[in-house]
Amino acid sequence: MRVVRTTGDKYALWRRAGAVLLVLGLLAACDSGGDVPTGKFSPAGNTEKSEAPAAPTTLSLTAPADKATKVLTSSVLTFTTNGALESVTVTDKGGKPVKGNVATDKTTWVPSNQLAYGTTYKVTATATQPGGTSKTVTTSFSTMAQPGAITGADLYVNDGDTVGVGLPIVVEFTRNIPKSQRAAVEKRLFVTSTPAVEGSWHWFSAGEVHYRPKAYWPSGTKVSVRLAIGGLPMGNGNYGKRDRFASFTVGRSVISKVTNKDKTMYVYRDGKLLRKFPISLGKASTPTSSGRMVAMEKAYEKTFDSGTFGVPADSPGGYREKVYYDVRFTWGGEFVHAAPWSTGQQGNTNVSHGCVNASNGNAAWFYDLTLKGDPIEIIGTTHRVTPGDGWTDWELSWDQYKAGSAL
């Protein structure tokens, strides 16, 4: 039997279907965990998520200022941005690019070398934000003329050296640095190492600053040093002469201990005793210095002359002698060296003028083995090494050492 629906029945069917959809919609809303929908309702009843547009990226070079003149050649470029500095291109007046890097703070750019005197530089920099927006600015500045008063710096390590585990990085300035300027100077002395090693600078005097790690350098460490002082104000109207660079490698660990009690020198390599041999130290009137020192230099032959200490060679107690296999450990003139004239006393009696006497064979062996920076520890004499008489960095505790930093 066929049933014929009326128009009213058709609308009743749609009303029932709409009721079912409404119930299903309510059930779906209940199943959603009760979260309150966010956003705004459109006139059609749909929700839309609203997002504020990202602010435009801002970027400006704040130091040196645009068109600045007489800018220090030691300058770094400092930017202000609400994003992150991504790239910086600096070119000189001839269009030649200047090497440098964006610092990890993403707001500064550090040139790899001192900028040139009396030169105009063009700067193009770009910063970006996570949203992808970017900003590029172009500025320029000019550097100062070459100064008349300069301060140089000497490094006691050469580029490419292999050194001992106790080597401090020693910097001597050609002029004293006033206390008021030392922090600014120290901020421009950079040491990096692989692996990273904790270390600190320590001012031993107004003209000398050292850097050492907390403990001896690990063997195999690669170290790079940059004294970025070229054009830097150094106090009293002086400016840094030029940047200095050096990269070196820390070699095997060789540590020597000299004990007065048994008149013996013990040489350890990588923690294992390599050799021990008899020695003679300074007699009572000229005792050898005790302390934690390091090998500073070595020479196959030196002429030792008591006249350098005010005692004429032809007077009682005077001497002028060629001495071989010389390894220096104090500026005052203390060495490990060959002393064939005292082999009968080595191991039992102190007869030297302050040096560590060894036989020709043992002295030659030690000379060949030694690297600059190898620790030499002398124990049990009546005199303690004078601070600064040599590289006496290891005489200080770590806290004492750090306290000597200007920062």
* Catalytically annotated residues: 337, 355
Return the HEC string of the chain: CCCCCCHHHHHHHHHHHHHHHHHHHHHHHHHCCCCCCCCEECCCCCEECCCCCCCCCCEEEEECCCCEEEECCCCCEEEEECCEEEEEEEECCCCCECCEEECCCCCEEEECCCCCCCCEEEEEEEEECCCCCEEEEEEEEEECCCCCCEECEEECCCCCCEECCCCCEEEEECCCCCHHHHHHHHCCEEEEEECCCCEEEEEEECCEEEEEECCCCCCCCEEEEEECCCCCEEECCEEECCCEEEEEEECCCEEEEEECCCCEEEEEECCEEEEEEECECECCCCCCEEEEEECCEEEEEEEEEHHHHCCCCCCCCCCEEEEEEEEECCCCCCEEEECHHHCCCCCCCCCECCCEEECHHHHHHHHHHCCCCCEEEEECCCEECCCCCCCCHHHCCHHHHHHCCCC
Measure the CA–CA gap between 306 and 313, rounded to whole angstroms. Answer: 6
> Using an 8 Å Cβ cutoff, are 369 and 270 in contact?
no
Question: What 3-state class would DSSP assign to 95?
Answer: coil
**Tokens 């100064």 correspond to what residue?**
147
Residue 126, CB-side half-sphere exposure with 13 Å CA sphere: 7
Q: How many CB atoms lie within 10 A of CB 147?
A: 15
